Structure 1
């Protein structure tokens, strides 16, 4: 089984509030289906979650009760996004159902707690595909917190022990500098824990869930269970399909 995260940067326009990239999402879902592989899918919140979360500083937990309406709105918005993604998956024959982390998980000071994954395991056991996503989740210490799509990936990796883990982003992989700004940026094909401190932490625009440094940290955590994570560009038609079929493509492989 392959665990795949569709990043918020590929399924939404993160610069515009609630801008769903339906055409690109549909293509990626079609590529996943065409691979014929058994998969589980997580997706990021993109502009459905990050815009208001940043505006109201939701990542820091409850600081002001004026944040509460934003918590409700973000939960509503990311569920709307998830239903859009699931709709495209169903169109290509994937039996997907949206499973909001805010309804089945809890956090403690920013750490995701998965005490009882029975409902998720039961769905997968009968062939239904649970689709998790970035969400606002109750936090025992901070009132609420943000469960990133990467944290959901870590949880599913521990539960299902996938053979491969793939992160689909809007760049070919990790670079020595921001490839969207620096012409001399070079793709880093392999990354491990020792190299992490040497990497430029501003490879992409920082977001509320920790930016690229947070992503690499989460990928390294997941590698502890599954050995390798792959970061690949989902904006290039056919690249995800090629990767899933075992072909060589430009990407970054992250190992512990």
Structure 2
């Protein structure tokens, strides 16, 4: 049976978050190669990616997540333009790699079609189902318009994942690809002796080494919350190590893999 997979490439997976605009091209290529294999096997993929060092550093510097601050509004508006441009640039690394692996794609920047932040943002999600068969729709976390005096805010890729996974028809798998960790851990992953949690349920604690100096959208805590929300409508919701993209195909074909399955 053909799978319909909504997949997110974490920003920390495809970029070096500690260095401004530093893509991890080999990682991107390895994932896109696996996506090509998945598509060739008759499955459908919708792709979302994070911002990493192409968005979080500048957004943090100018407090874009909090909306317009009259004292620095001119600099913030310039930063909004730069972040949107930088996100298109990062997306280009992903789409170019998809193209090199024989996959056509269409890009839908949220700043073009979404209004508002959080999981209640407004936007026509049907665009993700209107692409030709075999084409991968691609979107990402972005700076979007919001109502009122705030003027702008950051729409997280995790919120995109939740809405797309739950509102599009027949989604069978939702996969969050993480960087340098196999899934949810029983201790922060940088602590010696930490172990993989194979099944995580809503309400259980989330151990994290979340770096608020770099991440402006909530880190693993938001991912866990959105994944739990998604699991109420999608049976297979997983956190998987993106450095091992072959595990995505293993999950689709065998029903399990190394990672954490999320239950609501």
Asked if Structure 1 and Structure 2 have the same fold, meaning a TM-score greater than 0.5 normalized by the shorter chain, the answer is yes
- Structure 2 CA distance for aligned equivalents of residues 5 and 237 of structure 1: 12
Instruction: Work out which of the residue numbers 116, 119, 131 in structure 1 matches 2:124.
Output: 116
| 8 Å Cα contact 1:174-1:203 kept in structure 2 | no
Q: How does 1:1-256 map to 2 (within 5 A)?
A: 1-35=4-38, 36=41, 37-63=43-69, 64-65=72-73, 66-107=75-116, 110-123=118-131, 126-141=133-148, 142-161=150-169, 162-170=171-179, 171-180=181-190, 182-195=191-204, 198-200=205-207, 202-206=208-212, 207-236=215-244, 238-246=246-254, 248-256=256-264
State the aligned residue count: 250
1:3 match: secondary structure: strand
Q: TM-score, normalised by structure 2?
A: 0.88
Matched residues in 2 for 1:129 and 1:154: separation? Answer: 18
Cα RMSD (Å): 1.9
SS of equivalent to 1:187: coil
Question: Which ranges of 4 or more aligned residues in structure 1 deviate by more than 4 Å?
Answer: none
Shift of 1:83: 1.4
CA distance in 1, matches of 2:221, 2:209: 8
Q: Deviations over 1:93-126 (max 9, x none)?
A: 2211211011011006x444234334333225x5
> How far, CA to CA, are the matches of 1:244 and 1:33 in structure 2?
14
Q: Give the Cα–Cα distance (whole angstroms) in 1 for the partners of residues 59 and 92 of structure 2.
A: 20
Say which SS state the counterpart of residue 93 (structure 2) adopts.
helix
